[in-house]
Amino acid sequence: MVQEKKIRKEIKCGLLAVLSAVLSAVGLWVFVYPSDFAPSGVDGIATMLQYLTGVNAGIYTFALNLPLLIAAWFILKKRYVLYTIAYTVLTSALLIVLEAVDFYQYQTATDGLIPAIFGGVAQGVTGMMLKIGASAGGVDVAACMVQKKMPHKNVESLIALFSVVIVGVSYFVFWDLNSILLSVVEIFACEKVTEMILRDSRNAVEFKIVTDNPKEIGDEILYDLRKGATVMDGRGLFTENGKTVIFCVVSYRQIPEFLALVAKYEGTFVYYSDVMGVRGNFDWRKEDEKSEDIQKREEKLKGVSL
């Protein structure tokens, strides 16, 4: 049973890798290449080389990724590298095929904003590769290797620096300030789509409550909102008085209800923020035990009202 589940998972990951490669290749060919601007990363280098030499960018994409993937094989996890190789090979091959069949390319007489946006959206879909534990190759692979060898290094800063360099160099290829502006739009759209893909579908909000009434608030969270929470001891920095800090994750729909709950108690401070994703099941009580606790809570409230 476990083996079957693992096989189904890998089949799903393989299909996502194929879909990601197809959408990326089509996005580059249809929107980016005819609009004379460079996306970030290795795709940007391949785009500029194609513009200068007339040789298909798919060949350059494969050639530029090959040494990185060979090095990654000895440093990173094999599964990560295998999926990244599959994505790179398929994307490169598709770019060559699209040119061979003279596939449609979007042409515009305006400033090219639409190609930049939709090119970025197509590139952002490669976030699916990150979600399955792989990458779209190029600078991501290099960054992962740096992180593996030097965990203290900020790889995000290295990726950002590399992107800035690519965009800057593109001016001396296309000799047009507009190409730089389109690159920035494309990168922005790409990052937003990637962020949306990586964000878990179970969107939630984390509440952090600093209060003098942990028992009362805790009871309402457990029995009225039917949510779990984590309690920690805290201390005010200025007053040095003891406080209780309650951590709780709720759905977006429960935000008004949660705020109304907290507002009833004086000496309570709360702030909340988006949660990237939610995993795990921390509900350790059986259904009959929960029902019994809820019934006791309701009886207690009735007694107070009487």
Q: List pLDDT tens digits, range 96-148.
A: 999 999 899 888 766 678 888 999 999 888 888 888 888 888 888 887 787 77
The token duo for 299 is: 């009886």
Taking the whole predicted model, whether its pTM rises above 0.85 is answered as no
Radius of gyration of the chain (CA): 26
Closest CA to 116 of 42, 191, 18: 191
Written as one letter, the residue type at 60 is Y
pLDDT of residue 300: 59
Query: Considering only CA atoms, which of 276, 225, 222, 218 is closest in space to residue 245?
Result: 218
Lowest mean pLDDT among 19-33, 129-143, 168-182: 129-143
| Band of residue 84 on the pLDDT scale cut at 50, 70, 90 | very high
Q: What pLDDT, on a 0 to 100 scale, did the predictor assign at position 153? A: 63
When mean pLDDT is compared across 32-41, 62-71, 272-281, the lowest value belongs to 272-281
* Amino acid at residue number 176: D
Question: Which pLDDT does position 93 carry in this prediction?
Answer: 95
Q: Write down all domains in the chain, each with its CATH number in brackets.
A: 2-198 (no CATH), 204-305 (3.30.70.120)
| Strand ranges (E), the chain | 204-211, 230-235, 242-250, 269-275
The predicted structure's pLDDT at residue 111: 64
